[in-house]
């Protein structure tokens, strides 16, 4: 795809909620300020600088700090079965590395869990690089070792359609995991990378979870018991991931309801359902958004329309994706959304200790299991 939606959305963000509001909330949320806050799937971008500028501008940086987020996992493209996915990967990972190198005083590339704690202490923003497909790997499993050298620490097995490792969420045959898929999982674990099963077919996710020997994640999904959508995950698989010591992250995406227009309460219900099925030690968040909010002005709507049309043309759009359906929960489209989200769960009886696990502690544990530190 030519248009990376997470970068595009981050690039259209604006000051939806003023820093003063975030500061006022901070006084009420001391636990939040102390905690490691992890968004297990999103994107980093600067909405106020030219696209070719690698250095984050001061305004964008100030707003990133105001969110209170410690770490965000960013995606190294591509996804899908393209002509030269390895070549596309090499180009995109080089761009990601250039951005990190241009911001050494602000961004930290995470290779171990200790890097996350260090970023928190030094008031920097931690970035985990990961893929959302293994199309760029295929049968060349040695590429996984090179990807780790490049700084990639999480590998997602499939993305919606079928690849050589298995069926994605949109494949009607739901054929599950291939022999190569099993070998890919073995190599991911041998390299001490973190296996992610988001976007997988129901059978692929179930079989891969059963086959995995180490803790794994589904970084961004919803509960299929609440919305029967192929991007959401069955309770049996949620429980199986938890039983392996893994974490299931809930996204802030339209797939939480079948009408593609979920409200804040729908998101809270999905989070509570996953917590009830998996246990409080195995639930997290992976918003699948940029870390900054999005202003739905005409220019942004035009970019979203182009992005959506590209996905539909490429055959990777999930049911419910359409022009005019925005990939976000509009009730939480604000600079202080992570704090407001936690506050809303607190109103429903979540303790600070439980919230700390949800907002980052659980993913931090799995990252340490996978990478050490």
> What pLDDT, in 10s, does the model give residues 288-321?
998 999 888 899 899 999 999 999 999 999 999 9
Phi/psi at 61 (nearest 5 deg)?
Answer: -65, -45
CA-CA distance, 320 to 318, in Å (whole number)? Answer: 6
Residues 168, 160: contact at Cβ < 8 Å? yes
Q: Indicate which CATH number applies to the domain containing 139.
A: 3.20.20.140
Distance CA 217, CA 219 (A): 5
Q: How would you classify residue 151: left for phi > 0, otherwise alpha for psi between -120 and 50, otherwise beta?
A: left
Which pLDDT does position 47 carry in this prediction? 84
Q: Are 358 and 283 in contact (CB under 8 A)?
A: yes
Instruction: Report the number of distinct structural domains present in the chain.
Output: 1
How far apart, in whole angstroms, are the C-alpha atoms of residue 306 and residue 32? 37
Q: What is the pLDDT of residues 204-262, one digit of tens each?
A: 999 999 999 999 999 999 999 999 999 999 999 999 999 999 999 999 999 999 999 99
With 0-12 / 13-18 / 19 or more C-beta atoms within 10 angstroms meaning exposed / middle / buried, residue 169 is buried
Q: What is the DSSP letter of 57?
A: P
Helices 85-101, 143-150: inter-axial angle, 10-degree rounding: 20
The pTM of the full predicted model, rounded to 2 decimals, is: 0.94
Digits of tens for pLDDT over the chain (373 positions)? Answer: 344 655 555 545 443 444 444 444 444 569 999 999 999 999 888 988 998 999 999 999 999 999 999 999 999 999 999 999 999 999 999 999 999 999 999 999 999 999 999 999 999 999 999 999 999 999 999 999 999 999 999 999 999 999 999 999 999 999 999 999 999 999 999 999 999 999 999 999 999 999 999 999 999 999 999 999 999 999 999 999 999 999 999 999 999 999 999 999 999 999 999 999 999 999 999 999 989 998 888 998 999 999 999 999 999 999 999 999 999 999 999 999 999 999 999 999 999 999 999 999 999 999 999 999 9
In angstroms, the CA 139 to CA 136 distance is: 9
Least Cα distance to 277 among 203, 219, 223, 212 occurs for 223
Residue 306 vs residues 80, 176, 316: alpha-carbon distances, Å: 18, 32, 14
Q: Which of 19, 68, 129, 8 is nearest to 343 (CA)?
A: 68
Query: What CA–CA distance (Å, rounded) separates 39 from 20?
Result: 23
Q: Where are the beta strands (DSSP E) in the chain?
A: 38-43, 71-75, 107-109, 125-131, 152-156, 194-196, 217-221, 247-250, 283-285, 289-290
CA dist 131 and 135 (Å) reads 10
Sequence-ordered alpha helix ranges (H) in 226-336 = 235-243, 264-278, 298-314
Q: Which domain holds residue 242?
A: 5-371
């Amino acid at each position: 795809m030519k248009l990376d939606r997470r970068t595009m959305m981050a690039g259209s963000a604006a000051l939806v909620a003023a820093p003063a509001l975030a500061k006022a909330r901070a006084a009420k949320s001391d636990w939040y300020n102390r905690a490691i806050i992890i968004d297990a799937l999103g994107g980093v971008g600067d909405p106020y600088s030219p696209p070719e500028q690698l250095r984050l501008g001061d305004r964008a940086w100030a707003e990133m700090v105001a969110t209170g987020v410690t770490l965000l996992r960013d995606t190294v493209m591509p996804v899908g079965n393209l002509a030269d996915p390895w070549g596309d990967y090499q180009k995109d990972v080089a761009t990601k590395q250039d951005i990190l190198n241009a911001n050494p005083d602000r961004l930290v590339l995470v290779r171990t869990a200790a890097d996350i704690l260090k970023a928190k202490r030094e008031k920097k923003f931690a970035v985990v690089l990961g893929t959302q497909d293994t199309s760029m790997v295929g049968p060349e499993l040695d590429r996984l070792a090179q990807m780790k050298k490049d700084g990639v620490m999480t590998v997602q097995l499939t993305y919606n359609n079928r690849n050589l490792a298995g069926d994605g969420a949109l494949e009607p045959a739901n054929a599950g995991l291939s022999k190569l898929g099993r070998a890919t999982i073995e190599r991911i674990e041998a390299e001490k990378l973190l296996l992610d099963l988001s976007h997988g077919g129901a059978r692929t996710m179930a079989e891969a979870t059963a086959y995995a020997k180490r803790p794994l994640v589904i970084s961004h999904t919803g509960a299929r018991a609440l919305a029967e959508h192929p991007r959401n995950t069955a309770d049996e698989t949620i429980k199986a991931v938890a039983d392996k010591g893994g974490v299931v992250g809930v996204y802030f995406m339209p797939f939480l309801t079948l009408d593609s227009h979920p409200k804040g309460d729908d998101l809270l219900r999905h989070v509570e359902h996953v917590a009830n099925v998996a246990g409080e030690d195995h639930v997290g968040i992976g918003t699948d958004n940029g870390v900054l909010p999005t202003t739905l002005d005409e220019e942004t709507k035009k970019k979203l329309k182009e992005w959506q049309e590209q996905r539909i043309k490429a055959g990777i759009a999930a049911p419910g994706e359409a022009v005019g359906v925005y990939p976000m929960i509009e009730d939480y489209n604000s600079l202080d959304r992570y704090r407001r989200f936690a506050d809303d769960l607190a109103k429903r009886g979540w303790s600070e200790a439980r919230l700390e696990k949800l907002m980052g502690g659980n993913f931090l544990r799995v990252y340490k299991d996978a990478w050490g530190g």
